[in-house]
Structure 1
Amino acid sequence: MDEVVFQRFVEGDDAAFTFIYNKYVDLLLQYGRSLGFEKEVLKDAIQDVFVKLYLNRKNLSEVRNLKFYLFRSLKNNLLDMLKASVDTCNIDDYQCKFSIKWNVLNDLIAEEDKKEIEGKLNKLLNSLTGRQREIVYLRFIHELDYEEIAALMNMTIQSSRKAVSRAIVKMRKLKVAFLFAIMG
């Protein structure tokens, strides 16, 4: 469905743009918050992403995965903003403090079990590095493929596979098998 709506947008349909905006704005805000950016900064960055998307629509016919394109655009925009605001710091030295607030389970778990499971999930996720948390988030929550993760994280495809594998091994060592049943 995204492909059809995106094609309509590229062809000039403003209603398709509105649909795309409404579908992805909250996901982009959530992703940006997970990267550690403040809400007001994110609003500006997301607005820039959608303005550029709208203005460049005629040049976007080769975009294969709209979600990946938007995530990458937002991350690049945020990194550009960070570079502009930090004169003396090398952007490659910036360690992303990626975090996930696990709220996907809210509708699936009874209230009395929810806090216990959330605690275990948070402990599990906090055992990972920020980069590993981001990769797990992109792979299992947003279902990006390894090639897209590699491009978004500025690494090789093989490195993205290894990073996902290492995160899974690390989580397995903590013996939290229920997470893998959830991620299925």
Structure 2
Amino acid sequence: MGLDKNERMVQEQALWQGLCDGQPEAFDGLIRSFSKSLFGYGSRFCQDRDLVKDCLQELFVELWNKRSSLPLPRSVKGYLFIALRNRVLREQGRWHKRTSLEEENFNFLVEYSIEEQIIAHTEDLELARKIKMLLDRLPARQKEIVYLRYYENLDYDAIASLMQINKQSVHNLLQKAYKSIRVEWVPLICLLHELSLARQ
């Protein structure tokens, strides 16, 4: 049985504190815990996977080098996602202040690995294809927020910090996504929630 959300956050905070204290095993634990999800997230808005890998490696090197001065974030996962996102977009030369909170400045690819992820949980190829089609209808910002909320299981505060918007805008974007896919929303969210739990 996996850890619940609170237990997982306590474990992540302990690893982070260990990193700040200079414990190599805690640093290794953070890398093992977050490398896969960080790389997956970065690859959804940057198709240059080598660039994402380089940015991820640089991020972890910087964390170790600056370990004694790191803040203690409320959400370790949220902090790491923000750090990687900023680094990748900056390296791409596309990191600039948005003129609108909901401006679409980049593509966000949601590849839920249909064959390996969705089908494994639904055992229904047609349903899996329908879910992929529904997600592909959404604009990039809505697609990203659905991914973060229901696949990466981030809370509203972490999403707001990551996307540099306020919590009300997070709510608004989710509501827009809801209106876009209407009656199919409930089974879609239930399935994404199952996938999120399976990844814990």
TM-score (norm 2): 0.79
3-state SS of paired residue (1:107)? helix
Match 2:81 to one of 44, 48, 71:
71
* Matched residue, 2:190: 181
Q: What is the CA distance between 1:118 and its match in structure 2?
A: 2.0
Hey, what's the Cα distance between the residues in 2 that align with 1:146 and 1:72? 14
- 8 Å contact 2:107–2:140 — kept in the other structure? yes
1:167 aligns with 2:180: no
TM-score (norm 1): 0.86
1:59 aligns with 2:72: no
Q: Number of residues paired by the alignment?
A: 176
Q: What is the CA distance between 1:105 and its match in structure 2?
A: 2.5
* Matched residue, 1:8: 18
Q: Deviations over 1:136-155 (max 9, x none)?
A: 11111112122221121121
Q: What is the CA distance between 1:95 and its match in structure 2?
A: 2.1
Hey, what's the Cα distance between the residues in 2 that align with 1:180 and 1:165? 13
Amino acid at match of 2:121: L
3-state SS of paired residue (2:157)? helix
Q: 1:91 to 1:40 in 2, by over 3 A?
A: farther
Q: Percent identity?
A: 28
Amino acid at match of 1:164: L
Match 1:109 to one of 115, 122, 139:
122
* Matched residue, 2:7: none
3-state SS of paired residue (1:181)? helix
Q: 1:11 to 1:28 in 2, by over 3 A?
A: same
- 8 Å contact 2:122–2:128 — kept in the other structure? no
3-state SS of paired residue (1:108)? helix
* Matched residue, 1:139: 149
Amino acid at match of 1:59: S
Structure 2, unaligned runs of 5 or more? 1-10, 194-200
Amino acid at match of 1:125: L
